[in-house]
Structure 1
Amino acid sequence: MDSEDPQNSLQPDVYVEEEVPDPFLIDSDASDDEQEANARIQESDTTIKPISKDTPSTPTDDSEEEAPEIYLPGLVLPTMFLPIPNTDPLTTLLNKYVHPPERRPVRDISGDWQKTNFHTLVMTNSWRALARMARDRLVTTDPEDLALVLALWYLRLTCLSRLRLFNQTSVECTNLFSVLNSVEPREAKIYLFDKLLPFELEVMYVRLRYWAGDHMGYLDALQMLLRKCQIKARRAPKSDPTTSSMWKERGARVSLIIASQLCEMKEFGACTRLLEPLCNQPEPTSSLRSALARVYLQAGYLEKAKAHFAIVEKSSDASEGMKDMNRALMACANGEWETASETLTSLIEKEPDNLMAVNNLSVSLLSQGRLKEGIEVLEGALKASPASVVVAEPFLFNLSTLYELRSATATQKKLNLLLEVAKWSGDGLKTTCLKMPSN
């Protein structure tokens, strides 16, 4: 077990995610966090994420004398943290299905981080080790270095959520904000939340309601956060356009999170009403317009989707890969599976590493009854780039499903897939995508 001190706190019920993911993979600027994590690891668990990572930096005051003194030793107390379990669902599957033990791939779930570096841990999805590293560094950090303390807290909580330890993430995040909300006087608290606290931590605090299963409360909290962004953007001095731009960008990000939640709740009409105004602003991105069109596809409004795709088709900032994917998705929606397969095959020839196109090609082949070809497409991608494929859960779910459709070889094929996933996936995989019961 981890050496961390447990916190005596009630843990909320964890929201149980649906076991069946969307079979189509959608391109996303925020998939996944490896590039941004070198500065600050970010979770992003939403369906639609056409958000630019080039976000404006938080402006700093010209006069250091205006910054209030904030000293929060409570943020580095060991009692703020819970112990991390020393096992995971993937290990449970290996113990159940793979015998003798010598056949099981070696997996390090000890959380030991001292023998490697930060970049390697991120690239190998070693979220357990990163979470322990953040905790170990936090308890030895000077509380006066508040910026570093908050950055380490963000790293810690993000890694816990990537491990799907949502109870633990909720408890520790609640501990953090209990300390932050106790700051006095009011001016110091405002400065802390506006200037020092990473905005992503506020988003994560709101997300606790989602993990508790309170989806309507989650939407309400997101709406309040969006309102805050709008007010801050309006009140920013005209002489400081950076601050206004920063809060506008944050508001756009929150809007997209709300849209993603509405899609998950099948509230497609509300989602499109939220995204349409963003597309009517000056120079909307093609990725945003494509995302809106794909929501219309899910809702069954093909003509509206087609209209937005047509605008993207003429846009100079849209890549050819994006345009090809839009054409393929539109063809799938119209039941033109052969056209979709041809378009995706052409896209893969130009972009062999485009796993989204590979996955969606397998779906279009399955829809034509070409089961063997669909399996070959997915297995080829797995063999060519296993480290990338095994972290794409819809990809693994689709491959497991195709194996089941060929029932004669399903058991052995899925067992081989389990072994391959164990070699490459790292921590935090949602093992239900393998369709192998653990009990």
Structure 2
Amino acid sequence: MTTADTLHSIASRPRSSTKGPLDADEAPPLSPQVAARLSSGSRQASPRPSSSLRRSPVGSPARPSTTSSSHHAVTAMMTKDFSYLLKPEIYHQLSPLVVPAPFRNSPRQPAPETAIPEMLAGGHFRAAAIAAVQALTGSGGSGATAVNPADHARIFQLLYTRLACLCLADATALAAQEARALEDMGSAFYYADATAGVPQHHLAPWELRVLGVRLQAIGFGDPRRAVTGYYDLAREARVGAMEAARTHDHSAAELWKARLADLGVRVAGALIEMDDPAAAAEHLATLDRDEDEKRRRRAAGGGRDAGGGDGGKLAVSRALVWLHLGDVGAARRCVADGRAGNETAKKVVDALADMADGEYEGALGKWRALRAEMEESGVRDEMVGVNLAVCLLYVGRMEEGREILEGLVDAGLASHTLLFNLTTMYELATDRAKGLKVRLAERVAELEPSPHGWEKTNADFKL
């Protein structure tokens, strides 16, 4: 199992261009709201990394001619020096005090010599983040040596593990500060020159580049960087999709198109984080119109008019963003007429839409029906159970909701959302909730480790 399987170009100022390459066929312009928001701050340069983290200047960003390094075998070790990413002062110490005592003192904690893939498989994200830095800097004990500064593949793999695990361990702020060390990942320095049979390509894996966009926007305190960064990646993805289509590499073309669609949803999320719901709504409407046009083309060509190659995942993602913006009708349209890929996803969005409208009694019936339907198939879905419990809370049946959540914990489920809602019910039920929270932490610490995350933080239990 690879790190990317286990976990899932920043300019100094926003680009002045108003073209947004978030469509695989044509590049539509940015919506007026997006363009206005980006240009409003373009007179001031975005913050640069501190001198202690800055490497030697590199050339201006180079536009890639084809796909990323994940599709090309590089047989020779690159000669570029990435030693600036191996400095111990870049990385923060992780305090064990944010972890409840039942987890800190548990025999399920991994041994220091445990391999990183094993830590990830057991959901030990904090330990994996520490191990990744020890491998990068050579600080793992006697005899440990840092990674070869020219081994870009190993460096980026460990760095992605570090940043992703920090996010999963509720330390996104630290990850954002550490991501600043990457500086401008769109610069020519990060691209491998074309060689015989291998076109120019980016050295970092796609997952790290996507994660880096958001983290650097947070780390530099400039949310515009996320939007412009996603558009830079989308431009490259569009080129990759066209190149794959030209060479009749259908699997690569579908991969690039899926990346384009994913980036489109991420742009909407970035606009929401910029506190610009109007621009996010306009952008989402553009994505919806584009998807409708693609469906019409498939129907006209005799193709299957369903949820698409992603099984409706992105349609559901757009629906959830619409719900966040408060447009219930748009959310329902995203999953109508088979767009969700399956009836279960459509029913989930429909029930969430009822909750967004304050129709908790109606939503309660839908969650109950969906839960019974899934349990008949042998599936115990945590998300359905949590939303059912929340509906029960809002209709004045908190004890029943609490029993459902505790039953999910007994079944081995323990996401942040589940624990947060359960501890909230403890607080609403009694003035002595702390004892209940501590006992809940002890119960969760006894669960078997899983890739979904075993170790929790104090925030998960509101301690």
TM-score by length of 1: 0.69
Residue of structure 2 equivalent to 1:377: 404
Are residues 278 and 291 of structure 1, via their aligned partners in 2, closer, same or farther at CA, if it must alter by over 3 Å? farther
- Match in the other structure for 2:314: 288
**Does residue 133 of structure 2 align to residue 124 of structure 1?**
no
Uncovered stretches (5+) of structure 1, i.e. residues with no partner = 1-35, 44-54, 95-102
Give the counterpart of 2:204 among 191, 197, 201.
197
Shift of 1:214: 2.2
Q: Distance in 2 between matches of 1:184 and 1:342?
A: 53
Give me the whole-angstrom Cα distance separating, in 2, the residues matched to 1:370 and 1:185.
58
Aligned to 1:273: 285
| Paired residue secondary structure (1:310) | coil
Q: Compute the displacement of 1:321 (Å).
A: 3.0
What per-residue deviation string (whole Å, max 9, x for no partner) do you get for residues 310-364 of structure 1?
3238x7x41x432332332233344443332232223223235200000000111
CA–CA separation in structure 1 for the residues paired with 2:153 and 2:77: 13
Measured against aligned partners, the alpha-carbon deviations of 1:277-325 in whole angstroms (never above 9, x if no partner) come to 4532345342322333333334343333333443238x7x41x432332
Tell me, yes or no, if the aligned pair for 2:402 and 2:425 is still in contact at 8 Å.
Answer: yes
- Residue 281 of structure 2 aligns with an amino acid whose one-letter code is G
Judge conservation of contact 2:82–2:150 (CA < 8 Å) in 1.
no
Instruction: Tell me the residue number matched to 1:307.
Output: 333
Matching residue of 1:261? 270
SS of aligned partner of 2:93: coil
Q: What is the rounded CA distance, in whole Å, between the counterparts of 2:91 and 2:330 in structure 1?
A: 50
1:238, distance to aligned residue in structure 2 (A): 0.8
1:154 corresponding residue in structure 2:
160
**Distance of aligned partners of 1:419 and 1:275 in 2 relative to their CA distance in 1, 3 Å threshold:** farther
Residue 84 of structure 1 and its aligned partner are, at CA, apart by: 4.9
Gaps of 5+ in 2: 9-66, 137-144, 296-305
Instruction: Give the deviation of 1:42 after TM superposition.
Output: 3.0
Amino acid at match of 2:405: L
The correspondence of residues 97-246 of structure 1 with structure 2, limited to 5 A, is: 106-107=105-106, 112-114=111-113, 116-138=114-136, 139=145, 141-142=147-148, 145-166=151-172, 168-170=174-176, 172-176=178-182, 181=187, 183=189, 187=193, 194-207=201-214, 208-234=216-242, 238-241=246-249, 243-246=252-255
Q: Deviations over 1:221-250 (max 9, x none)?
A: 222322332244345571253554443332
Instruction: Give yes or no for contact 2:68–2:201 (8 Å, CA) kept in 1.
Output: no
| C-alpha contact (below 8 Å) 2:437/2:461 kept by paired residues | yes
**1:343 alignment partner, one of 345, 355, 366:** 366
Q: Given the superposition, is the C-alpha separation of residues 394 and 263 from structure 1 closer, same or farther in structure 2, using an over 3 Å criterion?
A: farther
Distance 1:409 1:84, change over 3 A: same
> How do residues 275-424 of structure 1 correspond to structure 2 at under 5 angstroms?
275-280=287-292, 281-282=294-295, 284=308, 285-312=311-338, 317-318=341-342, 320-349=343-372, 350-351=374-375, 352-385=379-412, 388-389=413-414, 392-423=415-446
Task: Give yes or no for contact 1:150–1:198 (8 Å, CA) kept in 2.
Answer: yes
Opposite residue 294 of structure 1, the aligned amino acid is: L
> 1:154, 1:339 → 2: CA distance?
43
> Structure 2 counterpart of 1:131, which letter?
A
Question: 1:370: how far off?
Answer: 0.8
1 or 2, which has the higher helix percentage?
1
Judged with a 3 Å threshold, the aligned counterparts in structure 2 of structure 1 residues 251 and 68 are, in CA distance, closer, same or farther, namely farther
- Report deviation, 1:203: 1.7
Alignment match, 1:60: 72
Contact 1:59 1:195 in 2 (8 A): no
- The one-letter code of the counterpart of 2:259 is R
- Between Structure 1 and Structure 2, how many residues are aligned? 368
RMSD of aligned Cα (Å): 4.0
Aligned residue for 1:71, secondary structure, equals: coil
User: Among the aligned pairs, what percent are the same residue?
Assistant: 25
Q: How many Å separate the matches in 2 of 1:301 and 1:170? A: 31
**Distance across 2 between alignment mates of 1:195 and 1:142:** 19
Residue 27 of structure 2 aligns with which residue?
Answer: none
* 1:206 positional shift: 1.6
Q: Distance in 2 between matches of 1:174 and 1:193?
A: 25
Write the deviation string for residues 153-212 of structure 1: whole angstroms up to 9, x where unpaired: 3223322333344465345444445799574998369x8972532012222322211244
Q: Distance in 1 between matches of 2:106 and 2:95?
A: 10
After TM superposition, give the deviation of residue 365 of structure 1 in Å: 0.7
